[in-house]
Structure 1
Amino acid sequence: MTSSAPLPDTVRGHWVERYSPAWFLPYARMARLERPIGWQLLLWPCWWSLALASDAAGYAIPNPWYWVLFLIGAVAMRGAGCVFNDIVDRDLDAQVYRTRGRPIPSGQVTTRQAAVFLAILALIGLVVLLQFNRFTIGMGIASLFVVAIYPFMKRITYWPQFVLGLAFSWGAFLGWTSVFGSLDWPAVFIYVGAILWTIFYDTIYAHQDKEDDVLVGIKSTALLFGPRTKPILAAFGTGAVLVLALACGLIQAGPLAYLGLAGFAGHLAWQVKTLDISDSTVCLRLFRSNWHAGWFFFAGLVADSLVRNGGFF
């Protein structure tokens, strides 16, 4: 596959594909810049926790500068994680249809070039992290262990989605500690809820690859759950909503926060109802829709802060 041919799950017409210089396009694809759903999902636990902490601290809105920092950090660190994953999985990726055109297995980028790019992205993430207080910096560094072990989990357990959740949900700690400089139970509940949600959406994503995964020996919750996927995902989605509700309860959030959470719950219910695990197109569409699901809860938290702390009523 040449560098001009987009990968199967690339967002059609994405600006990265249209405007990136030819020399940079393989690197952009390694960082999944043309597939923004990854950094979007990594961002939500950060923004949820930041919004919840801001509400608890009595701020009308979360610090806009922190919004920007978490956004930049999510893009950079999601990219770094993808490059690391591609380096580790380069031999497996060559055997799977959806991934064999990735820059490393297709020969567009060498492993050494990928390692240099990984270092650059990690440096960007470090610069972002250093803008926060010391406790948040320490928490951010602590996440690297989970990030490092994730690519190997699909080889040894049917629950790599759980380990992905541990890594992708870490921002729930950072959003809270960026406001308070300490870790408290509401952040822990956001973290647990986000982990359950990650298992929910990444199981849907994994159903795209299950036939190839069986052939090359990769494990996933999609294979583990099989035909029971829909009721099991309903349970995980319900668990996520209940735990997030507990997080809201701990700060005595107002009704708008719960209204946003209800919208989030309704979106997950729609996904379960719509899901067809035999149709990869449907799986990809539903997986990507979780960006919109996250907006419901975030909007509810921000609206609650505005009403309770902004003096609007």
Structure 2
Amino acid sequence: MGEKKSDNKIINRVKAVLLTESEAIKNLSELVDEQFVAAVKLFLNCSGKVIITGIGKSGLIGKKISATLSSTGTPSSFLHAAEATHGDIGVLQDNDVVMAISNSGESDELLTFLPFVKRRKISLISLTANTKSTLASLADIVLHARFNQEACALGLAPTTSSTLALAIGDALAIATLEARGFQSEDFAKSHPAGTLGRQLVVSVQDVMRRDSMIPVVQPNDTVASAIIEMTKKGMGMTLIMENGYAVGIFTDGDLRRFLQDTTKSISENISNVMTKTPHTISKQKLAVHAAELMEKKLISQIIVIDEDTKHVEGVVNMHDLMQAKVI
């Protein structure tokens, strides 16, 4: 009985934290004003970097905001408030924008170096819950992260305040992204190692097999020759080529169906049993499009052609796409 009561207490606390923080975000969304517009415009027009600074939990949130900005088209760096006055402030350039995060707006480490920012006439945005704070008074733009209470039962640990700061950072980054006309292709440029990046960058010609790696026979070759070529190249298929064009394809599936027909012989010409309308894709297309087409057509391989000449350039199969981590 006691253990059940303890479990319920944990569940109730988790729910209370989530409700408190989500309610704070909802309330804040109704208070978005022209100050947020001004902040996004500063980001958009910044010819340098957006420098995010903070200390403690605000600093950790600031690192994430900076990373999100950088990955969505707004160059950004994080400057640790405590390290700024020990040389790191040298990262600042006159064409930068600084956004300082502090719930109280009275963090000593921030207030020590921000006057230097003001003397250099660098635009300063404050993200704070205290609009009457010293930080707010120094800022050109004040983003009010107002909330009623921290989700911590003691009212001490930064919970609601840090969640609001993170949400505001995300909102600014995405609003800036949309205003900049940032597209998925741009996102991929800063994420080349991720699956999404590969899907948006890797083309069919980057992963296709070409030249001697392609299984090929001629229309007047026998089924036996085709089987040998398929076995040798290990792609589960062979092209039937004539004058640089694919006039057909013969796959493992075609072979199984062929062997089930006892009236047929492997000495028969491959042109009599091949699939005469093979699916093709341009070499310039994204590799992920090849995967989508193969899934749609329920095939495992697809012929890669030149968009203009229609000549065969290569072949790609699902295994190639998996190796390239496109799917």
**TM-score category (smaller protein):** under 0.3
Greater helix content: 1
Higher strand residue share: 2
> 1 or 2 for the larger relative contact order (CA 8 Å, sep ≥6)?
1
Q: TM-score, normalized by length of structure 2? A: 0.26
If you compute each CA radius of gyration, which structure gives the higher value, 1 or 2?
2
Question: What TM-score, normalized by structure 1, do the two folds share?
Answer: 0.26
